[in-house]
Amino acid sequence: MPTDPDHTFKAGKTSGATLDDVAQEAGVSPATVSRCLNNPGIVRPQLKAKVDAAIEKLDYVPHGAARSLASRRSRLIGAIFPSLDSTLFGGTLEALQCEIASAGYTLVVASSSYEPQQECNHLRNMLASGIDALMLVGAAREASVYRLIGQRHVPYVLTWVAGPDGTHPCIGFDNRAAAAAVTRHLLDMGHRRFAMISGGTATNDRAAARLAGVRAALEEHGLTLDPARTMERPFGVEEGRAALRQLMAREPRPTAVVCGADPFAYGALLECQSLGLKVPDEVSVTGFDDMWLSASLPPGLTTVRTPRKQMGALAGRYLLSILAGKETAPPSPLDFELIVRGSTGPPSR
Amino acid sequence: MPTDPDHTFKAGKTSGATLDDVAQEAGVSPATVSRCLNNPGIVRPQLKAKVDAAIEKLDYVPHGAARSLASRRSRLIGAIFPSLDSTLFGGTLEALQCEIASAGYTLVVASSSYEPQQECNHLRNMLASGIDALMLVGAAREASVYRLIGQRHVPYVLTWVAGPDGTHPCIGFDNRAAAAAVTRHLLDMGHRRFAMISGGTATNDRAAARLAGVRAALEEHGLTLDPARTMERPFGVEEGRAALRQLMAREPRPTAVVCGADPFAYGALLECQSLGLKVPDEVSVTGFDDMWLSASLPPGLTTVRTPRKQMGALAGRYLLSILAGKETAPPSPLDFELIVRGSTGPPSR
DNA sequence: CTGTTAGCGCGTTCAA
DNA sequence: TTGAACGCGCTAACAG
């Protein structure tokens, strides 16, 4: 409802040449031009050249909406991330975009801000935009979301998780196993008093799986994670800092602090420095994701390297493959890698 | 060209109810349903209720492509960033997405990887997708890009820069003035021997403006930036680290190192720590952008806080306003803020 | 291999 | 205030 309709911006007023214009210019039928665009192989080179020239001359750009309507494919792929304002998903996003762009697809993106309801809203929006396929992060969400994408027969893929079962196609790694791996690294060095700084587990199944992985590894040694030493916090450096301070204020102090995400660990490391605690002599700290400062922040953070870019690229490739009608094998879990640096060592005494 | 056409994924096979279906279900004409969707005010409440019920019952989702084709507006807004895999633009991206989503628009996004040609390709792609408006970062780019968006009459806005003149609508801040401000802060404390670690100035006008700002401030005091002490590097912590080491290897050492981006400064600070250089006693370090670790990394980084989220939100609002046909004033530059922390102090002696 | 003919689902005139 | 008719620009059958 524009206040002043007369000044309404005229979108696409001079929208440029149409396919028919190109056909006329080239002296062929519209169908031939269409074929040059969508199936160049089946058109005589001579004609194709004339059409290409006409396209060039008129600076023709195909009209996406018209194409979508006629072909029933939008060439749009959607992706909903829990957050865009964090370096965590940036690599996945960039790799996904790069991958699908090379096949002529365009990426539409949204952030759910870790709120399930938002994800659902954005999905509706994207469905209305006519996305051909969808990438999501994590597996745990309202059933309504899966119902929605099931109804519309939109191919989709879950990232950052490995399929717990075969329910959904996943391109990711086993968060639980990865968390168990860092924990075992600590256990192997002799640690027995553990603490954990975890992301919110309520709407984040990756955080929940990591917490579960730590618990599982401890149980193998007959240990448990003290609830009083399990801090659940929103992701952030300052949150990690504050959590570590609390953890260290309570005797007996943990000798190992497992963080569910690198930013927590950065905060923990910095707070140790402030408190004058020697890392790893007095306390070992581990992170998760091997983000950009983990190698540089002294004494170097022991962490799990997660295949962030690979997930984006493979998710893209997987969806493209389905859209191309190829028989596509359900993807298998990706590898993570334990990166041992200076922040972990045997407990003192 | 699917290998096996028979297994081609049927996009939108069961695409769901159409507007006509809704009309029949509600016992009204398609036109009325359309009005309920686009101009609910002018339809009798009683009818509107029936239509709403039918929409609900059939779980109707409007077909974006058909709407675009008929209305000549796609409800898509495009954004091209130099990089998506960096925390730098994340806030802007997220804020932009949030802003336009609230008005029913969907964001399509791409990364140019700091390559001008990529930007141009993605723009063509987006134009073909029918974007109604466009957000770009920076002002310096190939003329062909501006020609393209001019031809199609696509409203656009430049971010992360303040309009050098009135050529383009910009939502950003004055990079040059901001860089000059940090430099003056250093000059005021008595520094006279400067070095700079800068981003690549060739295809990044923000980096170039920051470098120019430093130079300008120095010139006010009759000083110049020694080319041998001006390091141009790709953004990154390790790059900052290496650059600082080189800088300090050359006598006389600078007493102040101005970094064109926070990651450089993080690296510089960490390297100072490695080298045993006291900050700020032996050398002052400044950053740019006030990213997430700047407050936490000891001794706290003096830097410029840039309005990252605000730029995204305002850019979105500006574009929406134009799309709504409102008379929209050309935006004016946003404020930056000098954040003084522990990494700067008077030079020793 | 190429041209002809029909729509795709919706917004938007008009007239009623 | 509502309905009928038309066409947006393109792809996909078909026939030639």
CATH number of the domain to which B42 belongs: 1.10.260.40
Strand ranges of the sheet holding B194-198, from the earlier edge strand across to the other edge: B230-232, B194-198, B256-259, B284-286
| Strand-strand pairing, B303-305 and B337-339 | antiparallel
Residue-averaged pLDDT of chain A: 92
Could you tell me which residue, A287 or A166, shows the higher pLDDT?
A287
A14 part of contact set with chain B, CB < 8 Å: yes
Distances, alpha carbon A311 to alpha carbons A88, A295, B283, in Å? 12, 22, 42
pLDDT per residue as tens digits for the range B135-162: 999 999 989 899 889 888 899 999 999 9
CB atoms A85 and B85 under 8 Å: no
Using the beta-carbon criterion (under 8 Å), do A85 and B309 form an inter-chain contact?
Answer: yes
Instruction: Tell me what percent of chain A is helix, strand and coil, each rounded to the nearest 5.
Output: 45, 15, 40
pLDDT tens digits for range A288-331 = 999 999 999 999 999 999 999 999 999 999 999 999 988 788 78
Other Cβ atoms closer than 10 A to A45: 8
Quick one: what percent of chain B has pLDDT higher than 90? 87
- Pick the range with the lowest mean pLDDT from A14-28, B82-96, B171-185, B234-248: A14-28
Q: Tell me which protein residue sits closest to nucleotide C5, measuring alpha carbon to C1'.
A: A31
Rg (CA), chain B: 26
A327 close contact with B: CB closer than 8 A: yes
Q: Is residue A259 part of a domain?
A: yes
CA–C1' distance A68–D3 (Å)?
28
Q: pLDDT value at position A199?
A: 97
Is the CB of B130 less than 8 angstroms away from the CB of A65?
Answer: yes
Give the pLDDT score at B5.
Answer: 31
- A107 and A161 share a domain? yes
Residues A237 and A270 in one domain: yes
Statement to judge: residues A210 and A299 lie in one domain: yes
Task: Say if the Cβ atoms of B11 and A63 lie within 8 Å.
Answer: no
Distance from CA of A184 to the nearest CA of B (A): 29
Residues A168 and A313 in one domain: yes
pLDDT score for A29: 93
User: Residues B183, B256: one domain?
Assistant: yes
Three-class SS of residue B31?
A: helix
Q: Report the DSSP pairing between strands A256-259 and A284-286.
A: parallel
- Closest Cα of chain B to A141: distance in Å? 20
Which range, of A77-81, A214-218, B330-334, averages the lowest pLDDT?
A: B330-334
By Cβ distance, the residue of B8, B11, B67 closest to A132 is B11
Q: Which residue is nearest to nucleotide C2 (CA to C1')?
A: A32
Contact A7 B309 (CB under 8 A): no
Residue B9: pLDDT over 50: no
Distance from C-alpha of A136 to C-alpha of B143, rounded to nearest angstrom: 37
Confidence class for position A10, pLDDT limits 50, 70, 90: very low
State the Cα angle at B68 between B62 and B71, rounded to 5°.
Answer: 105
B103 inside domain: yes
Q: Tell whether B90 and B196 lie within a shared domain.
A: no
Whether residue A149 is found in the same domain as residue A216:
no
Tens of pLDDT, residue by residue over A19-34, are: 999 999 999 999 999 9
Q: Do A165 and A89 share a structural domain?
A: yes
- What DSSP character marks residue A144? H
**Residue A163: its pLDDT value, please?**
78
The spacing between the Cα labelled CA in B306 and the C1' in C5, in angstroms, equals: 59
Residue contact A298–B2, C-beta within 8 A: no
Q: How many domains does chain A have?
A: 3
How many residues does this entry show for chain A?
Answer: 349
Residue A24, CB, strand D, below 7 Å: no
CATH code, A277: 3.40.50.2300
Its domain, for residue B88, covers 76-173+308-334
Residue B330 confidence (pLDDT): 75
pLDDT band at A2 (very low <50, low <70, confident <90, very high): very low
The answer to whether B9 faces chain A, any CB pair under 8 Å, is yes
Tell me the mean pLDDT in the region A179-194.
98
Residues A182, B249: Cα–Cα separation, whole Å: 39
Residue B149 counted as domain residue: yes
Whether the CA torsion A90, A94, A97, A99 is positive or negative: it is: negative
pLDDT band at A118 (very low <50, low <70, confident <90, very high): very high
Per-residue DSSP letter, A127: H
Between A62-76, A228-242, B306-320, B323-337, the lowest mean confidence (pLDDT) is in: B323-337
Number of alpha carbons in the 13 Å side-chain half-sphere of residue A2: 16
Q: What is the mean pLDDT of chain B?
A: 92
Q: Does B191 lie in the same domain as B107?
A: no
DSSP B42: G
Same domain assignment for residues B255 and B240 = yes
Identify the closest residue of chain B to A320 by CA–CA distance. Answer: B9
Q: How many CB pairs under 8 A join A and B?
A: 241
CA separation for the pair B221, B234 (Å, rounded): 29
pLDDT given for residue B11 in this prediction: 37
Q: Which residues, 6 or more positions from B224, have their beta carbon under 8 angstroms from its beta carbon?
A: B215, B218
How much is the CA Rg of chain A, to the nearest whole Å? 26
